Structure 1
Amino acid sequence: MDTITAFFSGKPTEQITQNVLGKLLSYQSPSGLVSGYIVEAEAYLGARDSAAHAYQGRRTAANEALYGAPGTIYIYTLHGQYMFDIAVQPKDEPQGILVRGLEPVEGIDIMTKNRGKTGSELTNGPGKLMSAFGIHDKQWNLTMINAGPIKIDLTTGRQPRQIVSSARVGVSRRGDATDAPYRYYVKGNPYVSGMKKRDVDLKTHGWADEPFDN
Protein backbone atom coordinates (compact mmCIF):
# COMPACT_ATOMS: atom_id res chain seq x y z
CA MET A 1 0.00 0.00 0.00
CA ASP A 2 1.42 3.41 -0.95
CA THR A 3 1.90 6.19 1.59
CA ILE A 4 -1.04 8.30 0.39
CA THR A 5 -3.52 5.41 0.46
CA ALA A 6 -2.28 4.31 3.89
CA PHE A 7 -2.59 7.82 5.34
CA PHE A 8 -5.98 8.73 3.89
CA SER A 9 -7.76 5.42 4.52
CA GLY A 10 -7.87 2.58 7.02
CA LYS A 11 -8.90 4.80 9.94
CA PRO A 12 -12.06 6.78 10.77
CA THR A 13 -12.24 10.08 8.88
CA GLU A 14 -12.33 11.95 12.18
CA GLN A 15 -8.93 10.46 13.07
CA ILE A 16 -7.45 11.16 9.63
CA THR A 17 -8.56 14.78 9.95
CA GLN A 18 -6.71 15.12 13.25
CA ASN A 19 -3.67 13.37 11.79
CA VAL A 20 -3.42 15.92 8.98
CA LEU A 21 -2.94 18.77 11.47
CA GLY A 22 0.71 19.82 11.45
CA LYS A 23 1.38 18.43 7.97
CA LEU A 24 2.93 20.77 5.39
CA LEU A 25 0.64 21.62 2.45
CA SER A 26 2.53 23.15 -0.48
CA TYR A 27 1.79 24.44 -3.96
CA GLN A 28 4.35 25.07 -6.68
CA SER A 29 2.53 28.09 -8.05
CA PRO A 30 3.42 30.01 -11.23
CA SER A 31 4.84 32.70 -8.94
CA GLY A 32 6.89 30.31 -6.81
CA LEU A 33 6.59 27.79 -3.99
CA VAL A 34 4.06 28.54 -1.26
CA SER A 35 3.36 26.37 1.78
CA GLY A 36 1.95 26.20 5.26
CA TYR A 37 1.31 23.83 8.14
CA ILE A 38 -2.31 22.71 8.38
CA VAL A 39 -3.78 24.04 11.64
CA GLU A 40 -7.52 23.56 11.10
CA ALA A 41 -9.58 21.01 9.18
CA GLU A 42 -13.10 19.55 9.09
CA ALA A 43 -14.25 15.98 8.56
CA TYR A 44 -17.20 15.13 6.28
CA LEU A 45 -18.56 11.61 6.58
CA GLY A 46 -20.27 11.07 3.24
CA ALA A 47 -23.71 9.58 2.73
CA ARG A 48 -24.58 9.51 6.46
CA ASP A 49 -23.49 13.10 7.13
CA SER A 50 -26.31 15.59 6.57
CA ALA A 51 -23.79 18.43 6.12
CA ALA A 52 -21.74 16.60 3.48
CA HIS A 53 -21.89 17.14 -0.27
CA ALA A 54 -22.46 13.38 -0.72
CA TYR A 55 -25.28 13.14 1.81
CA GLN A 56 -27.62 10.24 1.03
CA GLY A 57 -25.31 9.16 -1.78
CA ARG A 58 -25.62 12.34 -3.86
CA ARG A 59 -23.24 12.04 -6.79
CA THR A 60 -22.82 14.70 -9.47
CA ALA A 61 -20.14 15.98 -11.81
CA ALA A 62 -19.42 18.69 -9.24
CA ASN A 63 -18.65 16.34 -6.34
CA GLU A 64 -17.22 13.41 -8.32
CA ALA A 65 -13.78 13.91 -6.75
CA LEU A 66 -15.18 12.78 -3.38
CA TYR A 67 -15.80 9.36 -4.91
CA GLY A 68 -12.18 9.06 -6.04
CA ALA A 69 -9.29 7.17 -4.53
CA PRO A 70 -8.01 8.35 -1.15
CA GLY A 71 -5.90 11.45 -1.70
CA THR A 72 -7.97 12.79 -4.60
CA ILE A 73 -8.16 16.60 -4.56
CA TYR A 74 -11.67 18.06 -4.45
CA ILE A 75 -11.87 21.78 -5.22
CA TYR A 76 -15.25 23.48 -5.10
CA THR A 77 -16.68 26.95 -4.70
CA LEU A 78 -18.68 28.39 -1.83
CA HIS A 79 -19.93 31.97 -1.81
CA GLY A 80 -17.60 32.74 -4.69
CA GLN A 81 -14.51 31.38 -2.92
CA TYR A 82 -12.53 28.25 -3.73
CA MET A 83 -12.22 25.49 -1.12
CA PHE A 84 -9.62 22.73 -0.81
CA ASP A 85 -10.84 19.28 0.14
CA ILE A 86 -9.17 15.86 0.09
CA ALA A 87 -11.09 12.63 -0.49
CA VAL A 88 -10.46 9.96 2.12
CA GLN A 89 -11.47 6.31 2.52
CA PRO A 90 -11.60 3.76 -0.33
CA LYS A 91 -12.80 4.70 -3.81
CA ASP A 92 -16.58 5.24 -4.03
CA GLU A 93 -16.81 5.93 -0.27
CA PRO A 94 -17.33 9.73 -0.51
CA GLN A 95 -15.81 11.07 2.66
CA GLY A 96 -13.50 14.06 2.79
CA ILE A 97 -11.47 16.61 4.71
CA LEU A 98 -11.82 20.37 4.23
CA VAL A 99 -8.61 22.27 5.00
CA ARG A 100 -9.62 25.47 6.80
CA GLY A 101 -6.41 27.09 8.05
CA LEU A 102 -2.66 27.15 7.43
CA GLU A 103 0.29 28.62 9.27
CA PRO A 104 2.46 30.07 6.43
CA VAL A 105 5.98 28.71 5.96
CA GLU A 106 7.36 29.32 2.46
CA GLY A 107 6.49 32.02 -0.06
CA ILE A 108 4.99 34.40 2.47
CA ASP A 109 5.84 37.35 0.20
CA ILE A 110 3.94 35.68 -2.65
CA MET A 111 0.94 34.95 -0.45
CA THR A 112 0.94 38.51 0.89
CA LYS A 113 0.89 39.88 -2.65
CA ASN A 114 -1.91 37.49 -3.62
CA ARG A 115 -4.05 38.37 -0.60
CA GLY A 116 -3.14 41.97 0.10
CA LYS A 117 -3.17 40.97 3.77
CA THR A 118 -0.58 40.16 6.43
CA GLY A 119 -0.46 38.26 9.70
CA SER A 120 -3.15 35.73 10.58
CA GLU A 121 -5.52 37.21 7.99
CA LEU A 122 -3.31 35.71 5.33
CA THR A 123 -4.52 32.10 5.65
CA ASN A 124 -6.96 31.83 8.58
CA GLY A 125 -9.89 30.52 6.54
CA PRO A 126 -10.53 28.08 3.69
CA GLY A 127 -11.14 30.72 1.02
CA LYS A 128 -8.29 32.86 2.31
CA LEU A 129 -5.69 30.12 2.06
CA MET A 130 -6.68 29.30 -1.52
CA SER A 131 -6.49 32.98 -2.43
CA ALA A 132 -3.09 33.22 -0.74
CA PHE A 133 -1.89 30.24 -2.78
CA GLY A 134 -3.16 31.93 -5.94
CA ILE A 135 -5.62 29.15 -6.77
CA HIS A 136 -8.68 30.69 -8.43
CA ASP A 137 -10.04 27.82 -10.50
CA LYS A 138 -10.65 24.07 -10.45
CA GLN A 139 -7.66 23.11 -12.57
CA TRP A 140 -6.37 20.65 -9.97
CA ASN A 141 -9.77 19.17 -9.06
CA LEU A 142 -9.84 15.37 -9.52
CA THR A 143 -6.03 15.12 -9.45
CA MET A 144 -4.10 13.22 -6.81
CA ILE A 145 -2.29 14.91 -3.97
CA ASN A 146 1.50 14.72 -4.52
CA ALA A 147 1.06 13.82 -8.22
CA GLY A 148 1.14 17.46 -9.35
CA PRO A 149 2.08 20.85 -7.92
CA ILE A 150 -0.11 20.45 -4.80
CA LYS A 151 1.56 18.26 -2.19
CA ILE A 152 1.30 17.27 1.47
CA ASP A 153 4.41 16.02 3.26
CA LEU A 154 2.96 13.05 5.13
CA THR A 155 6.22 11.84 6.66
CA THR A 156 7.20 14.88 8.73
CA GLY A 157 5.52 17.94 10.23
CA ARG A 158 4.76 19.77 13.48
CA GLN A 159 3.18 18.14 16.53
CA PRO A 160 0.14 19.93 17.99
CA ARG A 161 0.32 20.38 21.75
CA GLN A 162 -3.46 19.99 21.96
CA ILE A 163 -6.16 19.38 19.34
CA VAL A 164 -9.56 20.92 19.96
CA SER A 165 -12.81 19.71 18.39
CA SER A 166 -15.90 21.82 17.77
CA ALA A 167 -18.91 22.10 15.50
CA ARG A 168 -18.09 22.77 11.87
CA VAL A 169 -18.41 26.29 10.48
CA GLY A 170 -21.07 27.42 8.02
CA VAL A 171 -22.52 23.98 7.24
CA SER A 172 -26.03 23.31 6.01
CA ARG A 173 -28.64 23.53 8.77
CA ARG A 174 -30.20 20.17 8.13
CA GLY A 175 -30.29 16.79 9.79
CA ASP A 176 -28.58 15.63 12.93
CA ALA A 177 -25.00 16.30 11.79
CA THR A 178 -25.25 20.09 11.67
CA ASP A 179 -23.60 20.59 15.06
CA ALA A 180 -21.44 17.46 15.07
CA PRO A 181 -17.94 18.12 16.50
CA TYR A 182 -16.04 17.36 13.30
CA ARG A 183 -13.92 20.52 13.15
CA TYR A 184 -10.43 20.05 14.55
CA TYR A 185 -7.75 22.65 15.17
CA VAL A 186 -4.45 23.33 16.89
CA LYS A 187 -5.28 25.03 20.18
CA GLY A 188 -3.77 28.49 20.41
CA ASN A 189 -2.64 28.78 16.81
CA PRO A 190 -3.27 32.29 15.43
CA TYR A 191 -4.07 30.98 11.93
CA VAL A 192 -7.17 29.09 13.05
CA SER A 193 -10.26 30.83 11.67
CA GLY A 194 -12.11 32.88 14.27
CA MET A 195 -9.36 32.47 16.86
CA LYS A 196 -9.71 35.20 19.47
CA LYS A 197 -6.56 37.15 20.33
CA ARG A 198 -6.89 36.25 24.00
CA ASP A 199 -6.72 32.55 23.09
CA VAL A 200 -3.59 32.76 20.93
CA ASP A 201 -0.43 31.12 22.24
CA LEU A 202 2.20 33.64 21.16
CA LYS A 203 5.11 31.57 22.45
CA THR A 204 4.52 28.25 20.67
CA HIS A 205 1.52 28.81 18.36
CA GLY A 206 0.17 25.62 19.88
CA TRP A 207 2.98 23.33 18.72
CA ALA A 208 4.68 20.88 21.05
CA ASP A 209 8.05 21.25 19.30
CA GLU A 210 10.44 24.12 18.56
CA PRO A 211 8.91 27.05 20.46
CA PHE A 212 8.72 30.36 18.59
CA ASP A 213 10.84 33.33 19.64
CA ASN A 214 8.80 36.30 20.85
Structure 2
Amino acid sequence: MKLTREFYARDTLQVARELLGKILVHKINGVKLSGKIVETEAYIGSIDKACHAYGGKHTPRVETLYGIPGIVYVYFIYGMYHCFNVITKEEGFPEGVLIRAIQPIDGLNEMANLRFNKEYNELTKAQIKNLTTGPSKLCIAMNINKENNEQDLCTSGLYIEESVDKEKIEIIEAKRIGINYAEEAAEFLWRFYIKDNIFVSVKERVLRYNKSEGK
Protein backbone atom coordinates (compact mmCIF):
# COMPACT_ATOMS: atom_id res chain seq x y z
CA MET A 1 0.00 0.00 0.00
CA LYS A 2 1.32 3.42 -0.97
CA LEU A 3 2.15 5.82 1.83
CA THR A 4 -0.45 8.57 2.06
CA ARG A 5 0.09 12.31 1.98
CA GLU A 6 -0.66 12.36 5.70
CA PHE A 7 2.44 10.25 6.30
CA TYR A 8 4.67 12.88 4.70
CA ALA A 9 2.82 15.88 6.18
CA ARG A 10 4.44 15.50 9.60
CA ASP A 11 7.59 16.43 11.50
CA THR A 12 10.50 15.92 9.11
CA LEU A 13 12.76 14.13 11.60
CA GLN A 14 9.96 11.70 12.42
CA VAL A 15 9.33 11.01 8.73
CA ALA A 16 13.07 10.47 8.14
CA ARG A 17 13.14 7.80 10.86
CA GLU A 18 9.90 6.12 9.81
CA LEU A 19 10.89 5.88 6.15
CA LEU A 20 13.48 3.29 7.19
CA GLY A 21 12.20 -0.14 6.27
CA LYS A 22 9.66 1.23 3.77
CA ILE A 23 9.90 0.21 0.10
CA LEU A 24 10.83 2.64 -2.67
CA VAL A 25 9.20 1.59 -5.96
CA HIS A 26 9.64 2.85 -9.52
CA LYS A 27 7.48 1.26 -12.21
CA ILE A 28 8.83 2.22 -15.60
CA ASN A 29 8.62 0.65 -19.05
CA GLY A 30 6.71 -2.32 -17.65
CA VAL A 31 9.43 -3.12 -15.11
CA LYS A 32 9.13 -2.81 -11.33
CA LEU A 33 12.26 -1.60 -9.58
CA SER A 34 12.18 -1.59 -5.79
CA GLY A 35 14.32 -1.54 -2.68
CA LYS A 36 14.04 -1.22 1.08
CA ILE A 37 15.03 2.20 2.39
CA VAL A 38 17.95 1.72 4.78
CA GLU A 39 19.39 5.24 5.14
CA THR A 40 17.90 8.76 5.17
CA GLU A 41 18.88 12.34 5.97
CA ALA A 42 16.56 15.14 7.14
CA TYR A 43 16.78 18.76 5.96
CA ILE A 44 14.85 21.64 7.56
CA GLY A 45 15.28 24.93 5.73
CA SER A 46 14.38 27.31 8.55
CA ILE A 47 17.32 26.29 10.76
CA ASP A 48 19.54 24.15 8.56
CA LYS A 49 22.48 25.72 6.71
CA ALA A 50 22.87 22.48 4.75
CA CYS A 51 19.42 22.88 3.19
CA HIS A 52 19.25 24.40 -0.29
CA ALA A 53 16.48 26.74 0.86
CA TYR A 54 18.09 27.90 4.12
CA GLY A 55 17.10 31.42 5.07
CA GLY A 56 14.06 31.43 2.81
CA LYS A 57 16.07 31.16 -0.39
CA HIS A 58 13.92 31.00 -3.51
CA THR A 59 15.45 29.99 -6.83
CA PRO A 60 14.07 27.88 -9.68
CA ARG A 61 16.22 24.98 -8.45
CA VAL A 62 14.73 24.90 -4.93
CA GLU A 63 11.08 25.84 -5.53
CA THR A 64 10.05 22.17 -5.27
CA LEU A 65 11.19 22.22 -1.62
CA TYR A 66 8.28 24.58 -0.90
CA GLY A 67 5.72 22.24 -2.46
CA ILE A 68 3.12 19.95 -0.97
CA PRO A 69 4.26 17.00 1.17
CA GLY A 70 4.70 13.78 -0.75
CA ILE A 71 6.18 15.19 -3.93
CA VAL A 72 9.69 14.44 -5.21
CA TYR A 73 12.63 16.84 -5.15
CA VAL A 74 15.44 15.69 -7.45
CA TYR A 75 18.57 17.80 -7.74
CA PHE A 76 21.75 17.52 -9.79
CA ILE A 77 25.26 17.47 -8.24
CA TYR A 78 28.80 17.62 -9.64
CA GLY A 79 27.33 18.02 -13.11
CA MET A 80 26.62 14.30 -13.42
CA TYR A 81 24.61 12.81 -10.51
CA HIS A 82 21.07 13.02 -9.17
CA CYS A 83 19.77 12.87 -5.59
CA PHE A 84 16.21 11.86 -4.66
CA ASN A 85 14.33 13.61 -1.85
CA VAL A 86 10.82 13.45 -0.39
CA ILE A 87 9.09 16.71 0.55
CA THR A 88 7.64 16.76 4.08
CA LYS A 89 5.92 18.96 6.66
CA GLU A 90 3.51 21.27 4.80
CA GLU A 91 3.37 23.42 1.70
CA GLY A 92 5.42 26.59 1.99
CA PHE A 93 7.94 25.12 4.44
CA PRO A 94 11.18 23.98 2.74
CA GLU A 95 11.74 20.62 4.40
CA GLY A 96 12.48 17.17 3.09
CA VAL A 97 14.23 13.84 3.45
CA LEU A 98 17.08 12.64 1.27
CA ILE A 99 16.97 8.91 0.55
CA ARG A 100 20.63 7.94 0.88
CA ALA A 101 20.58 4.16 0.37
CA ILE A 102 18.28 1.24 -0.36
CA GLN A 103 18.52 -2.56 -0.26
CA PRO A 104 17.57 -3.85 -3.74
CA ILE A 105 14.52 -6.14 -3.98
CA ASP A 106 12.83 -6.17 -7.42
CA GLY A 107 14.26 -5.59 -10.88
CA LEU A 108 17.79 -6.69 -10.04
CA ASN A 109 18.82 -7.27 -13.65
CA GLU A 110 17.50 -3.87 -14.70
CA MET A 111 19.32 -2.19 -11.80
CA ALA A 112 22.56 -4.00 -12.62
CA ASN A 113 22.35 -2.93 -16.26
CA LEU A 114 21.60 0.66 -15.35
CA ARG A 115 24.54 0.83 -12.92
CA PHE A 116 27.15 -1.44 -14.46
CA ASN A 117 25.84 -2.46 -17.91
CA LYS A 118 25.84 -6.10 -16.74
CA GLU A 119 23.30 -8.72 -15.71
CA TYR A 120 22.93 -9.11 -11.96
CA ASN A 121 24.51 -12.59 -11.98
CA GLU A 122 27.58 -11.11 -13.69
CA LEU A 123 28.28 -8.64 -10.90
CA THR A 124 31.15 -9.07 -8.49
CA LYS A 125 30.46 -9.19 -4.75
CA ALA A 126 31.74 -5.63 -4.49
CA GLN A 127 29.42 -4.44 -7.26
CA ILE A 128 26.42 -6.13 -5.63
CA LYS A 129 27.22 -4.43 -2.33
CA ASN A 130 27.66 -1.06 -4.03
CA LEU A 131 24.63 -1.26 -6.30
CA THR A 132 22.55 1.23 -4.29
CA THR A 133 24.81 2.31 -1.38
CA GLY A 134 24.51 6.04 -1.85
CA PRO A 135 22.03 8.67 -3.05
CA SER A 136 23.38 8.96 -6.59
CA LYS A 137 23.96 5.23 -6.95
CA LEU A 138 20.35 4.45 -6.07
CA CYS A 139 19.10 7.10 -8.49
CA ILE A 140 21.03 5.45 -11.33
CA ALA A 141 19.85 1.96 -10.36
CA MET A 142 16.24 3.09 -9.88
CA ASN A 143 16.22 5.21 -13.08
CA ILE A 144 15.40 8.40 -11.16
CA ASN A 145 16.46 11.73 -12.67
CA LYS A 146 15.39 15.36 -13.14
CA GLU A 147 12.33 14.23 -15.10
CA ASN A 148 10.98 12.92 -11.78
CA ASN A 149 11.29 16.30 -10.03
CA GLU A 150 7.89 17.40 -8.62
CA GLN A 151 6.36 13.97 -9.30
CA ASP A 152 3.72 12.99 -6.74
CA LEU A 153 4.60 9.89 -4.72
CA CYS A 154 0.95 9.48 -3.79
CA THR A 155 -0.40 9.19 -7.33
CA SER A 156 2.39 8.17 -9.73
CA GLY A 157 4.44 5.11 -10.67
CA LEU A 158 7.23 6.36 -8.44
CA TYR A 159 6.16 5.85 -4.85
CA ILE A 160 6.97 4.50 -1.39
CA GLU A 161 4.94 1.72 0.16
CA GLU A 162 4.63 -0.16 3.42
CA SER A 163 6.77 -3.24 3.81
CA VAL A 164 5.17 -6.63 4.45
CA ASP A 165 8.21 -7.38 6.63
CA LYS A 166 7.43 -6.37 10.21
CA GLU A 167 10.93 -6.99 11.56
CA LYS A 168 12.19 -4.84 14.40
CA ILE A 169 15.08 -2.59 13.43
CA GLU A 170 17.66 -0.60 15.33
CA ILE A 171 18.06 2.95 14.10
CA ILE A 172 21.43 4.68 14.18
CA GLU A 173 21.47 8.48 14.50
CA ALA A 174 24.56 10.14 13.00
CA LYS A 175 25.90 13.29 11.36
CA ARG A 176 24.98 13.86 7.74
CA ILE A 177 27.50 13.27 4.96
CA GLY A 178 29.40 15.88 2.92
CA ILE A 179 28.13 19.06 4.60
CA ASN A 180 31.20 20.33 6.47
CA TYR A 181 30.45 23.82 5.09
CA ALA A 182 27.19 23.99 7.07
CA GLU A 183 28.76 25.23 10.34
CA GLU A 184 26.71 24.15 13.37
CA ALA A 185 24.26 22.24 11.14
CA ALA A 186 27.06 19.84 10.25
CA GLU A 187 26.82 18.53 13.82
CA PHE A 188 23.11 17.75 13.71
CA LEU A 189 22.39 14.04 14.14
CA TRP A 190 19.92 14.05 11.27
CA ARG A 191 21.14 11.00 9.36
CA PHE A 192 19.32 7.77 10.18
CA TYR A 193 20.13 4.24 9.10
CA ILE A 194 19.36 0.62 9.89
CA LYS A 195 22.03 -0.87 12.10
CA ASP A 196 24.22 -3.55 10.46
CA ASN A 197 22.60 -3.26 7.01
CA ILE A 198 25.31 -3.77 4.40
CA PHE A 199 23.73 -1.31 1.95
CA VAL A 200 24.19 1.72 4.23
CA SER A 201 26.57 4.17 2.55
CA VAL A 202 28.66 5.20 5.57
CA LYS A 203 28.72 3.68 9.06
CA GLU A 204 29.89 5.54 12.15
CA ARG A 205 32.70 4.35 14.39
CA VAL A 206 30.90 5.76 17.42
CA LEU A 207 27.29 4.63 17.25
CA ARG A 208 24.20 6.06 18.87
CA TYR A 209 21.06 4.04 18.39
CA ASN A 210 17.59 3.41 19.62
CA LYS A 211 15.20 0.55 19.05
CA SER A 212 12.31 1.12 16.71
CA GLU A 213 9.74 -1.31 15.42
CA GLY A 214 9.59 -1.48 11.67
CA LYS A 215 6.19 -0.69 10.24
TM-score range, shorter chain: 0.7 to 0.9
Name the structure 1 match of 2:21: 22
1:156 shift after superposition:
4.8
TM-score by structure 1 length? 0.85
Write out aligned runs for 1:65-144 (5 A). Answer: 65-79=64-78, 80-116=80-116, 118-135=127-144, 137-144=145-152
RMSD value over aligned CA atoms?
2.4
Instruction: After TM superposition, list the pairs within 5 Å mapping 1:1-214 onto structure 2.
Output: 4-10=4-10, 12-30=11-29, 32-79=31-78, 80-116=80-116, 118-135=127-144, 137-154=145-162, 156=164, 158-195=166-203
Q: 1:106 to 1:158 in 2, by over 3 A?
A: farther
TM-score normalised by length of structure 2: 0.84
Q: C-alpha displacement at 1:31, in angstroms?
A: 6.3
- What SS does the aligned partner of 1:26 have? strand
Give the Cα–Cα distance (whole angstroms) in 1 for the partners of residues 200 and 180 of structure 2: 21
Q: Is the 8 A contact 1:21 1:160 kept in 2?
A: no
| Structure 1 stretches lacking a partner, 5+ long | 200-206, 210-214
Supply the AA of the counterpart residue of 2:128: G
The one-letter amino acid paired with 2:63 is E
Aligned residue for 1:48, secondary structure, equals: coil
Matched pairs, number: 198
For 2:119, the equivalent position in structure 1 comes to none
More strand as a share of residues: 2
Displacement of 1:172: 5.0
Kindly provide the CA deviation profile for residues 50-79 of structure 1, in whole angstroms up to 9, marking residues without a partner as x.
111110011111111111111010000112
Q: Identity rate of aligned residues, in percent?
A: 31
| Higher RCO structure, 1 or 2 (CA under 8 Å, sep 6+) | 2
| SS of equivalent residue, structure 1 residue 66 | helix
CA, structure 1 residues 188+143, in 2 after alignment: closer, same or farther (shift >3 Å)? same
Distance 1:119 1:158, change over 3 A: farther
Cα distance in 1 between the residues matched to 2:71 and 2:165: 21
Q: Name the aligned partner's letter for residue 44 of structure 1.
A: Y
State the shift of 1:30 in Å: 2.5
